[in-house]
Structure 1
Amino acid sequence: MSLTLVKGLVLAGALALAGCLEVPRQTLLSNEFQPAEHCLYPSLPAIAPLPAQFSLLSWNIYKQQRNWQPELSRWMADTDVLLLQEASGRDDFYQWLEQQQLHWFQADAFEWQQLPNGVLTASRQPAVQVCAERMTEPATRIPKSLLFSRYSLAGAKEQLLVVNLHAVNFSLRGRTYQAQLDMISRAIAGHSGPLIVAGDFNRWNARRQQQLNQWAVTHQLSEAVPAPDLRTRFWGYPLDAIFYRGLTLITAHSINTHASDHTPIKASFSTL
Structure 2
Amino acid sequence: MLQQDFGLLCLNTHKNNQRAAFQRFFRAQTHHLPLDIVLFQEAAFSGEDFFLDQFCYEAAPNLQVKGRYYGVLNASDTRVLDASPLLSFTQEVFIKTHKSALITYYPLPGATHDASTDSHSLCVANIHAINFKGLKEYQAEVSLLAEALCHHRGPMIVAGDFNSWSTRRELTLQQFCHALELRPIHFQHPHLIKRFMGHPLDHIFYRGLSLHHASCLSSSRFSDHNMLYAQFRLDTRQHLLHFN
Q: TM-score, normalised by structure 2?
A: 0.84
Which aligned runs of 4 or more in structure 1 are off by greater than 6 angstroms?
none
Q: Distance in 1 between matches of 2:224 and 2:183?
A: 25
Question: Which amino acid letter does the alignment assign opposite residue 145 of structure 1?
Answer: S
Q: Secondary structure of the residue that 1:58 maps to in structure 2?
A: strand
Identity %: 34
Q: CA deviation at 1:241?
A: 0.5
Q: State yes or no: 1:251 paired with 2:213.
A: yes
Give the aligned partner of residue 89 of structure 1: 45
Deviations 1:40-61 (A, max 9, x none): xxxxxxxxx1101110000000
Q: State which of 77, 85, 108 in structure 1 corresponds to 2:61.
A: 108
Within-5 A mapping of 1:180-195: 180-195=141-156
CA contact (8 A) 2:92 2:131 kept: no
Q: State yes or no: 1:142 paired with 2:91.
A: no
Q: Distance in 2 between matches of 1:79 and 1:99?
A: 10
Q: CA deviation at 1:73?
A: 1.6
Q: Secondary structure of the residue that 1:87 maps to in structure 2?
A: strand
- Give the root-mean-square deviation of aligned CA atoms: 1.8
Q: Distance in 2 between matches of 1:122 and 1:263?
A: 18
Give the aligned partner of residue 120 of structure 1: 73
Q: Distance in 2 between matches of 1:51 and 1:63?
A: 30
Q: State yes or no: 1:153 paired with 2:108.
A: yes
Q: CA deviation at 1:90?
A: 5.3
Q: Secondary structure of the residue that 2:212 maps to in structure 1?
A: strand
Give the aligned partner of residue 79 of structure 1: 35
Q: CA deviation at 1:147?
A: 0.5
Q: Distance in 2 between matches of 1:151 and 1:139?
A: 35
Q: Distance in 2 between matches of 1:76 and 1:104?
A: 18
Q: CA deviation at 1:76?
A: 4.6
Q: State yes or no: 1:267 paired with 2:230.
A: yes
Q: State yes or no: 1:235 paired with 2:191.
A: no
Question: Which amino acid letter does the alignment assign opposite residue 196 of structure 1?
Answer: I
Q: State yes or no: 1:206 paired with 2:189.
A: no
Unaligned 5+ segments in structure 1 are: 1-48
Q: State yes or no: 1:170 paired with 2:132.
A: yes
CA contact (8 A) 1:137 1:176 kept: no
Range with greater deviation from structure 2 (256-265 or 156-165): 156-165
CA contact (8 A) 2:214 2:228 kept: yes
Q: Distance in 2 between matches of 1:153 and 1:75?
A: 27
CA contact (8 A) 1:52 1:155 kept: no
Q: Distance in 1 between matches of 2:101 and 2:175?
A: 20
Unaligned 5+ segments in structure 2 are: 112-118, 236-244
Q: Distance in 1 between matches of 2:207 and 2:36?
A: 18
**Number of matched residues?**
220
